[in-house]
Amino acid sequence: MTKVFDFQPGDSPLLVSMPHVGTCLSPEVERVLNDKGRKIMDTDWHLDQLYNFLAGMDVSCLMARYNRTVIDLNRDGEGGLLYPGQSETELCPLTSFDNEPLYRSGCVPDETEIRRRKEVYWQPYHDKIRTELDRIKERHGYALLWEAHSIQSHVPRFFEGQLPDLNLGNVDGTSCAPALAAGVLSVAAASPYRAVLNGRFKGGYITRHYGDPENNIHSLQLEISQITYMEEAPAFLFQEARAKKLRSVLQAMMTGFLTAPRHRK
């Protein structure tokens, strides 16, 4: 059976999900991709290194092994849109963030192949999220989900100009308590980084689907501009000096998320 994710259990109320950190391409997918597709340029690069402090926080961490080019774990399994009227990629992306085809001519996945990928890669990841959130809530009386993402600082397909450094989203106050999101934002805003809440990125499918503040499950997404911790395309190299500065801010944000006295309806 294909191992589609890595999981590190913790005993705190927090689950961290990294659905786009994977860099693997399955052989049956790789052979139908073109050169652009095989470069997996739209990966959330090096998030495991950036968040290397998580083990010391005793949080649970779920990380995808396979790349979003195979299937996007942060999309609706039924193909529903996140941002109607705006450009976005599909459950099984056909184009890159710079709008170039990912597949060889005549090789795009059909409905049968999409269903297969959903069963093999998408469903196990989501089953694990559900199981872990249920376990956490049973133990602590509430559960927290932190959706960890990153993207290049300039992606004209999705936004104009340069993206702010730290982009928090709680789907306009519906996926976690507004006071909780505001508290995390205040930590980010006091840092040297530019931070926004519910800007271009309000939260993807995972944030929207699992966040349920009325039932004490609070989900928050953080989309980080990659220029803050790495060299962007074409190098995609991790920069430890940049990352070290950012880590202290991320850890403070996550500590605030964990400790704020708001885990109630």
Kindly give the confidence (pLDDT) of every residue in the chain, 265 residues in length, as a single tens digit, with 9 standing for 90 and above. Answer: 579 999 999 999 999 999 999 999 999 999 999 999 999 999 999 999 999 999 899 999 999 999 999 999 999 998 887 877 788 899 999 999 999 999 999 999 999 999 999 999 999 999 999 999 999 999 999 999 999 999 999 999 999 999 999 999 999 999 999 999 999 999 999 999 999 999 999 999 999 999 999 999 999 999 999 999 999 999 999 999 999 999 999 999 999 999 886 554 4
Pick the closest to residue 7 from 74, 52, 61 (CA basis): 61
pLDDT in tens, 34-49: 999 999 999 999 999 9
Task: Report the alpha-carbon angle 181-250-170, nearest 5.
Answer: 25
Pick the closest to residue 30 from 70, 1, 3 (CA basis): 70
Pick the closest to residue 255 from 64, 63, 56, 61 (CA basis): 56
Domain boundaries, the chain: 5-259
**Which CATH code is given to the segment(s) 5-259?**
3.40.630.40
**pTM of the predicted structure, to 2 decimals:** 0.96
What gap in Å lies between CA 79 and CA 115, rounded to an integer?
11
Question: Cis omega before residue 234 (within 30°)?
Answer: yes
